[in-house]
């Protein structure tokens, strides 16, 4: 079976990582576009959320697909990290980085931070478990409600600490995408030969657009642009 051939080789593992990574990139872009509806007011945003929840089984199917992609992505990253560590048991006293970027060098532990962020984020906005304003005595900002996504966003981002967590996490997403959105295409052998193979136009645009789009929402709430 070809899946076994893939799973047994480093190129196959990396390709699984690339495909699942691209699935997650697609999700992240759609998610960002959805979030920007905050700027269109509560009716629009809550309507979109109600629409998503009304799709029922389909929503769960997509969630299952994304979870599978994430699990495979992290599993392959973990395995390849171990292979790489075993490939150089005795490290250099000195090895200079000449071509690698901060982005490529932070894929591994930056990925771990992203995973931690994903867990936090789900407990924060999806389940409301970690909602910081829920216990606030001043009832100025509403408590967590499944039916008022707009209200949840506005409440949550009045807390500068929460804004800081999201802003920092999105910086790591920026880095992860700057390398990953470019490297995944090369890993799959879909790139054309180039005189400047390390240059990446599309990935740079994707990374910056995603970063701006996600960062805009918490910052806008904190600055009172969205209330």
Partner 1 sequence: MNLTLRVWRQAQSDVAGALVEYQAIDVNPDMSFLEMLDVVNERLISAGDVPIAFDHDCREGICGSCGMMINGVAHGPMKGTATCQLHMRSFRDGDIVVIEPWRARAFPVIKDLVVNRSALDRIIQAGGFISTPTGGAPDGNTMPIARQASDSAMDAAACIGCGACVAACPNASASLFTGAKISHLGLLPQGQPERYRRALKMVAQMDLESFGGCSLFGECQEACPKEISIDVIARMNRDFLVAAVAASEERSGGDEG
By beta-carbon proximity to partner 1, the closer residue of 2 and 161 is 2
Q: Is 201 in the site for partner 1 (CB under 8 A)?
A: no
Q: 100 or 126: whose CB is closer to partner 1?
A: 100
> By C-beta, is 6 or 112 nearer to ligand HEM?
112
> What's the Cα-to-Cα distance from 109 to each of 106, 182, 217, rounded to whole Å?
6, 19, 26
- Nearer of residues 3 and 93 to ligand HEM, judged by Cβ: 3
Q: Which two tokens stand for residue 197?
A: 């193979």
Count of residues in contact with partner 1, rule CB under 8 A: 45
83 binds, among partner 1, ligand HEM, none (CB under 5 to 8 A by kind): partner 1
Q: Does residue 188 belong to the site contacting partner 1 (CB under 8 A)?
A: yes
Instruction: Choose the one of ligand HEM, partner 1, none that binds residue 176, judging by a C-beta under 5 to 8 angstroms depending on kind.
Output: ligand HEM
Scanning the structure block, which residue is given the tokens 């929460």?
162
Tell me, what DSSP letter sits at residue 197? T
Pair of tokens at residue 71: 């699990």
Member of 56, 193, 201, 224 binding partner 1 (CB under 8 A): 193
Q: Closest distance between ligand HEM and the C-beta of residue 137, in Å? A: 35
Site for partner 1 in 142-161 (CB under 8 A): none
- Nearer residue to ligand HEM within complex by CB, 117 or 144: 117
Least gap, CB of 102 to partner 1 (angstroms): 11
Q: Are 154 and 222 in contact (CB under 8 A)?
A: no
Q: At what angle do helices 57-87 and 10-35 cross, to 10 degrees?
A: 140
In the complex, least distance from residue 28 CB atom to ligand HEM, rounded to whole angstroms: 5
Quick one: which of 54, 93, 135, 224 contacts partner 1 (CB under 8 A)? 93
**Among 169, 187, 170, which Cα is nearest to 21's?**
187
CA distance 177 to 168: 14
Among 116, 30, 111, smallest CA distance to 65 is for: 30
What residue ranges in the chain does DSSP mark as E strands?
none
DSSP secondary structure letters along 84-137: HHHH-SS--S----SS--HHHHTHHHHHHHHHHHHHHHIIIIIS-TT-GGGG-S
> Among residue numbers 11 through 50, which ones bind partner 1 (CB under 8 A)?
11-15
Cβ-based nearer residue to partner 1, 11 or 59 = 11
- Please give the residue ranges that form the binding site for partner 1 (CB under 8 A): 2, 5-6, 8-15, 80, 83-84, 86-100, 104-105, 107, 179, 182-183, 186-191, 193-194, 197-198
């Amino acid at each position: 079976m070809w899946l076994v051939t893939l799973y047994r080789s480093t190129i196959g593992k990396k390709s699984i990582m690339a495909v699942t990574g691209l699935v997650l990139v697609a999700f992240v872009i759609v998610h960002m576009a959805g979030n920007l509806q905050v700027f269109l007011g509560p009716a629009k945003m809550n309507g979109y959320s109600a629409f998503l929840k009304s799709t029922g089984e389909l929503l769960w199917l997509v969630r299952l697909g994304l979870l599978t992609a994430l699990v495979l992505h992290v599993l392959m990253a973990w395995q390849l990290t171990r292979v790489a560590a075993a490939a150089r048991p005795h490290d250099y006293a000195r090895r200079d980085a000449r071509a690698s970027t901060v982005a490529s060098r932070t894929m591994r532990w930056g990925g771990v931070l992203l995973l931690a962020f994903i867990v936090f984020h789900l407990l924060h906005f999806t389940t409301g478990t970690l909602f910081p304003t829920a216990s606030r005595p001043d009832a100025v900002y509403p408590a967590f409600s499944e039916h008022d996504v707009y209200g949840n966003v506005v409440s949550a981002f009045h807390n500068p600490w929460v804004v800081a967590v999201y802003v920092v996490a999105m910086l790591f997403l920026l880095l992860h995408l700057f390398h990953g959105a470019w490297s995944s295409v090369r890993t799959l052998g879909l790139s054309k030969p180039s005189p400047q193979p390390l240059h990446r136009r599309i990935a740079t645009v994707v990374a910056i657009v995603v970063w701006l789009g996600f960062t805009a929402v918490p910052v806008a709430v904190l600055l009172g642009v969205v209330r």
